[in-house]
Amino acid sequence: MIRVPVHRRFSDLDPLGHVNNVVFHDYLQEARVGMLRDLGFVRGPGFSQVVVKQEITHRKPLLLSPEPVMVETWIEHLGNSSYRIAYRVIDEHGDVAAEGSTLMAVIDPDTGRPIRMSDELRAVLEPLTIQQ
């Protein structure tokens, strides 16, 4: 599991003073890109990755705070040409504010068509695989 801190911005708030539900997608993106960047596998020779589907279940509102939320990320499933990243968004009190997942596809950057995941990418993702 990788933990990525994400700071809330005043512009993240809706008129009720909560972090807007759409902004949670930004938080997941920051965690996903941070995780892939740290692993060194945003792109590679002969492949790229794209988001196929993303879902979020909101558990409690987030309010403005100087403390970052912590986004926990792990790999929930590894397929042949895709994998699913799972997330938990933890507030400054340690409470789960949201849970989510992103289905990623490995594609040929020239054709945009799905391709088999490389052994190198699989080797980097496998240690992060946790069945929940």
Number of domains in the chain: 1
Where in the sequence is the domain holding 97, given as residue range(s)? Answer: 2-128
What pLDDT sits at residue 39?
81
- Rounded Cα distance, 89 and 76, in Å: 16
**How many helices and strands (H and E) does the chain possess?**
2, 5
Report the pLDDT value the prediction gives residue 43, as an integer from 0 to 100. Answer: 67
Q: What is the pLDDT of residue 47?
A: 87
Q: How confident is the model at residue 24 (pLDDT cuts 50, 70, 90)?
A: very high
AA letter at 84 = R
pLDDT at position 98, please? 98
For the segment 26-70, what is each residue's pLDDT rounded down to a tens digit?
999 999 998 888 887 666 778 889 999 999 999 999 999 999 999
What pLDDT, in 10s, does the model give residues 68-103? Answer: 999 999 999 999 999 999 999 999 999 999 999 999
- We report the CATH number of the domain holding residue 34 as 3.10.129.10
